[in-house]
Amino acid sequence: MDVGVIGLGRMGRGMAASLVRAGHRVRVWNRSPGAAEGLAGAIPVAEAAEAFAGDAAITMLADDAALRAVIVEGGLLDKADRPGLHLSMSTISVALAGELAAIHSRAGVPYIAAPVFGRPDVAEAGALNIVAAGDPEGMARARPLFEAMGSRTWPFGDAPQRANAVKLAGNFMLVSAIEAMGEAAAFAEGHGVSGADLLDLLTNTLFASPVYKNYGALIAAQRYEPPGFNLKLGAKDIGLALAAAESAGVPMPFAEVLRDNLVAAMGQGDADKDLAALAEVARRAGGPRSPTG
C-alpha cells in the first residue's frame, strides 16, 4: 500500500520501519525534519499534506494539541488530495476522538482510531498490540498495515472513541502497577528488605506479567534513562483518563492519587525520565535508607 506516516517520535519511527519492512511504500513527515534521518526505505516529504494522502495516512503524534494542529488547524481534510483512510494511532482524549470522527465523516475520509500498547522496541519489531475501532470497511482495508505493525489487533466496534477509552484504561492500569511496585519496594526497604529482591520475587511469581517484569526491573535498578515512555506522557494520559471519567460520571479516586504523584515526580525533575521513575516518589517520601537494614 501507499501510506503516509505523520509523527516520527520513537514510536512512529519504529512503526514506519515495520511498514517499510513489510513492503509498503512509506512517505514520512515530522515537524522536526531531522527525525527522518536514517529511516531506511522511507520517503521524507516536505509538507504534512504530502503524507496525508495515498491509500492510507497514519498519525502518531504526542498529544491532542499536536494532532489538532496538524490535521484540523492544518486544514489537511480540506485538501483535494486526501488519503483513502486515516489511522489515528496516537494516545488522545476520548473527546477529541469523537470530534475527529465527526470531522472525517463530513469530509468523506474513513477514520479509524488505533492506539497501541508497546514500547519503542516493540514498535521496531512490528509486535505492537493495536486497539482499533471505526468503520468496518475501513478496518478491513487497514488489516495489512495492522499486520505489519502489530502482533495482534483488538477490535472494539465501529465508534472510534471506544478504542481511545480502552487505551486510556490500559494506561491507567499500567501507571497503577508502577505506583504499587514503587510503594511496595519503599515499604520493604523500610523494614530492612532489599526492594530489588522483593520485586524479583513478586514479578516472577504473583505478578509474572510483562508490565510488572519490565517495569519492575527498571525500578529495581533505578534505571530511568533513556526513557522508553517518559513520565510527562504518563501524566498526560492520566489527565485524559480523569477527564473522560468525569464526562461519563465514573469516579476514579486512585487516578487522582496517580496524578498527584506524577506531578510530584515532575516537580523533582523526572518529567523526561522513564515512567518507571514514578516509583521514586514513594522512596523519597520514606527518606534515605539502606536497602538491607
Residues marked as catalytic: 167
CB under 8 Å, gap of 24 or more: what pairs does 66-71 form?
66/7, 66/31, 66/90, 67/92, 67/96, 67/100, 68/96, 70/6, 70/31, 71/100
Q: Check: CB of residue 138 under 8 Å from CB of residue 85.
A: yes
Q: Check: CB of residue 128 under 8 Å from CB of residue 122.
A: yes
- Amino acid (1-letter code) at residue 57: A
Helix axes 160-190, 94-107, angle to 10 degrees: 160
**Per-residue DSSP letters for 160-212?**
HHHHHHHHHHHHHHHHHHHHHHHHHHHHHHHTT--HHHHHHHHTTTTT-SHHH
Residue 226 preceded by cis peptide, ω within 30? yes
Q: Which helix (H) or strand (E) holds 132?
A: strand 128-134
The Cα–Cα gap between 76 and 104 comes to: 10
Q: Check: CB of residue 247 under 8 Å from CB of residue 94.
A: yes
Closest C-alpha to 225, from 179, 270, 185: 270
